[in-house]
Structure 1
Amino acid sequence: MINEINEQTIEQKPYLPLKEKSRNDLPDYLKVSNRIFRQMLISSLEDADTIVKRLNTIEKLNFARQYAHLFHRLFYVQLQQDQWKYYYDIDIKENIWSGRVSTKWALMNSMYHTYGRSKQLIEQRLHTIARQLQEASPKIQEFSNQPLPPCILEMNPPLDFPFFVAIITAFVRKGQYKLKQQFESKKKMLILDSTDHRLVQAVYNLKPTKQQIRAIRNRWKAIYNKIQIKEQIEILKHRIHSNRLPPAFNLLDYSLDKIEKILTRSPKSSITNSTDQETVLSARRLKKIGRFKYDILELSIAAGEEKHALFPDLFQQLIVAVETREQHMLKRADYLKQEKLKSFFDDAPTPENDIMDDNSNDSVGAINH
């Protein structure tokens, strides 16, 4: 917990961790349409089409769906176990666990207000996951030990079952690719956020004066604003050069300034441009406005650096602590920016999106387990 020195004390609220929500955005292989299900299977492994094209009845597809459903559940629980075990191990090693400051305090110091999980919550989650793993593993074994349905036994030539299982395994792994990336991102952000809290605390431990605190906060705020504009410019560049954009991402949602609002309200040209032309023109306009604000913030940073250069040697230790935290802010922001860019423009397989987009009515009426 970070306590402000030489400033009015800010009331801290107790940290009550919330229960983790169940993921309803994961693909349900029992409900996806036949067409999408076949396409996903074929793209999972090389030469998978030699097997998939023989799954030409509802009964055969239903068998493959149930296998995929069981593997999906097992792999998902294993991913969760890996994530929460990492939390426990890193917390034991680094003694970081969880931390929280008020939203107001976080805003004043340009930081995220919370990080991590309590030891009690992590242990509870690991216990629950261990029980779920004990349930998921035997279900696959039980399903494998059951006699094969007649539709599979009667296939001629016989089904290459090891290759079939390899296809299902690769298919499920591919479907959980983005989920795994999200888990890895959370691991990295835990270290970045906990380090940020520690570095901010190190600055206040040096007992700066009120005037110094204001100068430090102004400098951090200027850096934070510069980071935000730089991130926006990077996204704008991708907007111009990328041919693949997520449908929910709309640059017009960016709140820039009064100039943008005036331009947005300006009459449209009577000449009908193509969608691509409108996209490029809109992105260029927003990029120029963003660049203008970015230049202003660079001047603010330069002014702040000049001001800090005049500090007497007595405060050199304080400046070192501040600059150490600034470097970490840049490191954390760069990682977060890359994660956002991957989220916006990643070409990774997203079967759940395909599922949502598919409105066909040829789904198989499989039974949920």
Structure 2
Amino acid sequence: MKENQWTPRVSKSFAKQHHTCRTYGFAKRQVEKRLQTITRHFHDSLFELQQSITQLENNVQQWQPYIDPVILCNAINTCVQSAQQRLRQQVDYKRKMLTLYSYDRNLITKFYDFKPNDEQVQLAKQIWQTTANILKTEEQEEILRKRIFLRRLPSAYDKIINQSLDYVKPMLSNKVIDKDRRASLVSNYSKTITQYKFDFMTLTLDTIQNVIRGHQQRLVKLQNKLPQCCNQMLIEAIENRRQAMEKRHELYLKHKLHSFFDEAPTAVSNE
């Protein structure tokens, strides 16, 4: 890493207006200091690990029934490697995002190097804002599609819709209702509510798609204004940055879908 390789910190308002990261990277001296600390911790951990292995090999001789220490060590290594898999993926993702944010900031800088006037700046910001709106809404669409496919519902949906049972619970608990009939009623209520939840999500998906189309139409109108006030170099600078936003968001969404649904709650179907 080289000193001042990346653009320095920008204001919160600038980052918000341009939909970019406020800051990233550190000075070379900070990185070198951190690397020294990591190296020291690594060697300390290796020493402690070797001590633990030696102690394990000594203790395992006394265990009954006997366990082969080689097999035990291999099993431990396998468990550790499996646990580290997500950490490796997280580090790789952050490294890629860091590169994309750096490239994104360079494209913004190139745009301003052309000395655009206020009208051109505002048009560029509107195009980038609309692109960000499209990407954000497409993210909502993909997450909702995944939820519908996996039958994993947002907790807000569950909480609101499940409250509809509060009204009928006292009636269902009435002792005058036959036990078998009560079980049948409870099952029917549960199935109806579950189906309603996913019907509601499907309708929400249709609404999101209409929002996306609206943003896309607005983007086309804004892009049609470019030849009227911008030269070809400015148009290319604006479009290059817009495409970079899409590429960065593609990586972000892929990572989010992969990590989010590892822990998302599952809706149990009563069918």
Q: Structure 1 residues 160 and 189, CA, compared in 2 at 3 Å: closer, same or farther?
A: same
Whether 1:320 and 2:228 are equivalent positions in the alignment is: no
Return the alpha-carbon distance in structure 2 between the equivalents of residues 208 and 147 of structure 1: 69
Q: Does 1:96 align with 2:5?
A: yes
Question: Which residue pairs with 1:86 in the alignment?
Answer: none
- TM-score computed with the length of structure 1 as normaliser: 0.59
CA change 1:252–1:213 in 2 (3 A) is farther
Specify which of 106, 115, 119 is matched with residue 15 of structure 2: 106
Q: CA deviation at 1:153?
A: 2.7
**Contact conserved, 2:111 with 2:234, CA < 8 A, in 1?**
yes
Equivalent-residue separation in structure 1 for 2:112 and 2:236 (angstroms): 13
- Compared CA separation, residues 283 and 203, structure 1 to 2 (3 A): same
Mapping 1:113-132, distance limit 5 Å:
113-132=22-41
Alpha-carbon shift at residue 116 of structure 1 (Å):
2.0
Partner of 2:189: 272
Matching of residue 238 in structure 1 with residue 150 in structure 2: no
- State the alpha-carbon separation in 1 of the partners of residues 37 and 219 from structure 2: 49
Structure 1 residues 150 and 142: CA distance shift in structure 2, 3 A: closer
- Which aligned pairs between 1:290-301 and structure 2 lie closer than 5 A? 290-301=208-219
The alignment status of 1:136 with 2:45, answered yes or no, reads yes
1:164 maps to a residue whose letter is L
Gap change, CA 1:211 and 1:150, over 3 Å in 2: closer
Return the letter of the residue paired with 1:141.
Answer: Q
Q: How many residues align?
A: 239
Contact 1:196 1:325 survives alignment (8 Å): yes
Q: 1:251 to 1:213 in 2, by over 3 A?
A: farther
Flag the 1:321–1:145 CA change in 2: closer, same or farther, 3 A: same
Contact 2:19-2:129 at 8 Å conserved across structures: yes
The structure 2 residue matched to 1:224, chosen from 108, 126, 132, is 132
Residue of structure 2 equivalent to 1:358: none
Distance, in Å, in 2 between the alignment partners of 1:162 and 1:208 is 68
Aligned to 1:174: 82
The structure whose Rg is larger is 2
Give the AA of the match of 2:119. Q
In structure 1, the residue matched to 2:118 is 210
The separation in 1 between residues aligned to 2:219 and 2:6, in whole angstroms, is 34
Contact in 1 for aligned 2:8/2:23 (Cα 8 Å): yes
Alignment deviations for residues 91-146 of structure 1 (CA, whole Å, 9 cap, x no partner): 33x96346321110111222222222232321221111111112111112122233
d(CA) in 2 for partners of 1:211 and 1:330?
24
233, 252, 259: which one pairs with 1:343? 259
Q: Quick check: which one's helix share is greater? A: 2
1:56-88 per-position Cα deviation (integer Å, ceiling 9, x unaligned): xxxxxxxxxxxxxxxxxxxxxxxxxxxxxxxxx
Instruction: State the TM-score, normalized to the length of structure 2.
Output: 0.78
Q: 1: CA distance between counterparts of 2:7 and 2:68?
A: 50
1:181–1:136 Cα change, 3 Å: same
Q: Counterpart in 2 of 1:14? A: none
Q: Is the 8 A contact 1:251 1:283 kept in 2?
A: no
Shift in CA distance, 340/308, structure 1 to aligned 2, threshold 3 Å: same
* Aligned alpha-carbon RMSD (Å): 2.8
The 3 A distance-change label for structure 1 pair 230 and 250 is same
CA distance in 2, matches of 1:280, 1:149: 58
Change (3 A) 1:339 1:308: same
The aligned amino acid for 2:131 is I
Counterpart residue identity of residue 342, structure 1: H
User: For the Cα contact (< 8 Å) 2:12–2:22, is it kept in 1?
Assistant: yes
**CA distance change for structure 1 residues 346 and 239 in 2, over 3 Å: closer, same or farther?**
same
